[in-house]
């Protein structure tokens, strides 16, 4: 039995396999519409994330399976103080696979120790979010066509941005990668990501707080939200927020084949005027999420078309 807690739980070869299956699902959806018939996915969301939950549920329903679960801690046994160990020991008897979102870092790893069915981490605090990363990888493959020799800019909240951490991890396994880390000093990448996946692997990187300066060298710009509550005071937030907003002016500095990704939801960090730019890939990216999750569920349930 396999779990996916961290994107590195999957080898580079397995990621290629998932991408191939996702591609085939996109090309022949009817072939897959009953492969998970009579299987149940439990979505245990201890904090709300409608988008991620719907993406998982849509994926399972598209495979002919069923879904059950809860969408916030207050409607679950966690509100009564039940431990993760106990919740999962019970629920793993009700489902064939579990997707779990939790505000605390490492919660899905704890769950995996007590579950008799596969656990998928659907986001744990500021730590990891592997299925978003698989979505990002499928997007990069479709929009750019390769994983090697890429200069990838990450912009915004790199400290708490779990999607950033997971994508850096995943991309650190490919050749010719360069990372450009664009954030206010308060929201710099945490040490576990920088040391383990960039410095120790000898990967080239730059840190900057100016998006304009680096725009022209990027193959990919991965945008994230800069949230007000991450700042100690309103002044710092107001002073900094516009530097990390993507506008048409900034897009004019980018290359013609550059792509903009964003895990969504967006607030104001990408000006809506950018949406019509063909380089804006974020809405297409959201659609890829469903197909790669279908491929992952099939892999963990060991079913094929």
Contact footprint for another protein (CB under 8 A): 83-85, 102-107, 109-110, 124-127, 191-192, 195-196, 200
Tokens matching residue 166? 């997971």
Least CB distance from residue 108 to another protein, whole Å?
A: 9
Residue 48 vs 190, nearer CB to another protein = 190
Burial string for 268-286 (b: 16+ CB within 10 Å, else e) reads: ebbeeebeebeebbbeebb
**Residue with token string 């950033």:** 164
Q: Are 77 and 46 in contact (CB under 8 A)?
A: no
Least CB distance from residue 124 to another protein, whole Å?
A: 8
Least CB distance from residue 18 to another protein, whole Å?
A: 24
Residue 68 vs 85, nearer CB to another protein = 85
Residue 90 vs 238, nearer CB to another protein = 90
Least CB distance from residue 107 to another protein, whole Å?
A: 5
Residue 53 vs 127, nearer CB to another protein = 127
- Closest by CA position to 78, among listed 110, 118, 126, 119: 110
- 121 pairs with which residues across the strands? 100
Cis omega (within 30 of 0) for bond into 270: no
Distances in whole angstroms, Cα of residue 53 to Cα of each of 59, 223, 235: 10, 21, 34
Least CB distance from residue 177 to another protein, whole Å?
A: 20
Residue 195 vs 213, nearer CB to another protein = 195
């Amino acid at each position: 039995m396999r779990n996916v807690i961290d994107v590195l739980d999957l080898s580079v070869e397995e990621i290629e396999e998932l991408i191939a299956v996702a591609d085939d699902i996109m090309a022949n959806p009817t072939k897959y519409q009953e492969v998970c018939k009579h299987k149940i996915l439990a979505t245990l969301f201890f904090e709300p994330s409608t988008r991620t939950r719907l993406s998982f549920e849509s994926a399972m329903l598209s495979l002919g399976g069923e879904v059950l679960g809860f969408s916030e801690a207050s409607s679950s046994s966690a509100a009564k103080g039940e431990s993760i160990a106990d919740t999962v020991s019970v629920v793993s008897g009700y489902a064939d696979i579990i997707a779990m979102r939790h505000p605390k870092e490492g919660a899905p790893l704890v769950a995996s120790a007590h579950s008799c069915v596969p656990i998928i981490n659907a986001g744990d605090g500021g730590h990891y979010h592997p299925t978003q990363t698989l979505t990002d990888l499928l997007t990069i493959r479709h929009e750019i066509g390769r994983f090697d020799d890429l200069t990838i800019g990450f912009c915004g909240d790199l400290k708490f941005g779990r999607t950033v951490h997971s994508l850096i991890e995943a991309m650190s396994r490919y050749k010719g990668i360069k990372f450009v880390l664009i954030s206010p000093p308060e929201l710099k990448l945490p040490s576990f990501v920088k040391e383990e996946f960039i410095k120790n692997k000898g990967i080239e990187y730059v840190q900057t707080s100016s998006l304009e300066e680096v725009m022209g060298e990027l193959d990919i710009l991965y945008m994230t939200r800069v949230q007000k509550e991450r700042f100690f005071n309103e002044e710092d937030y107001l002073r900094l927020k516009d530097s990390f907003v993507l506008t048409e002016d900034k897009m004019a500095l980018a290359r013609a084949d550059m792509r903009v990704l964003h895990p969504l939801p967006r607030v104001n960090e990408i000006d809506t005027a950018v949406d019509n730019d063909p380089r804006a890939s974020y809405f297409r990216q959201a659609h890829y999420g469903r197909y790669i999750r279908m491929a992952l569920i099939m892999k963990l349930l060991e079913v094929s078309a």
